[in-house]
């Protein structure tokens, strides 16, 4: 996940939380009802944030694994080319 995507997600979550809190605090309800509602919504927000964090970690793990596979592939290619070059040099030295 890019920094920009993370910022968008964070901004969206923060904006939703602030908007919700303002709505609850300005709604005509008793203090007890408001506290209960805020507690429920805080738990929902915590769960949503946990889900986003888990998805981000899974995405980062996929990127890491992909990079490792790519690196191994390129390392194998470089090793093969180095061996080929070594054999060519050796062949030219022996024929000289």
- Domain-by-domain residue ranges, the chain? 3-95
Confidence band, pLDDT 50/70/90 cuts, at residue 83: very high
Identify the CA nearest to 45 among candidates 19, 26, 7: 19
Quick one: average pLDDT of 10-32?
Answer: 77
Does position 45 have pLDDT exceeding 80, yes or no?
yes
Quick one: average pLDDT of 13-17?
Answer: 80
pTM of the predicted structure, to 2 decimals: 0.51
Identify the CA nearest to 43 among candidates 23, 20, 25: 20
Confidence band, pLDDT 50/70/90 cuts, at residue 65: very high
Quick one: average pLDDT of 81-93?
Answer: 91
């Amino acid at each position: 996940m890019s920094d920009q995507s993370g910022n968008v997600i964070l901004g969206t979550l923060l904006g939703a939380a602030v908007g919700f809190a303002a709505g609850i605090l300005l709604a005509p309800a008793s203090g007890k009802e408001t506290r209960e509602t805020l507690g429920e919504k805080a738990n929902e927000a915590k769960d949503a944030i946990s889900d986003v964090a888990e998805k981000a970690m899974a995405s980062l793990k996929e990127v890491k694994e992909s990079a490792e596979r790519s690196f191994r592939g390129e390392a194998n290619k470089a090793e093969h080319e180095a061996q080929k070059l070594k054999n060519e040099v050796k062949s030219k030295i022996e024929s000289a």
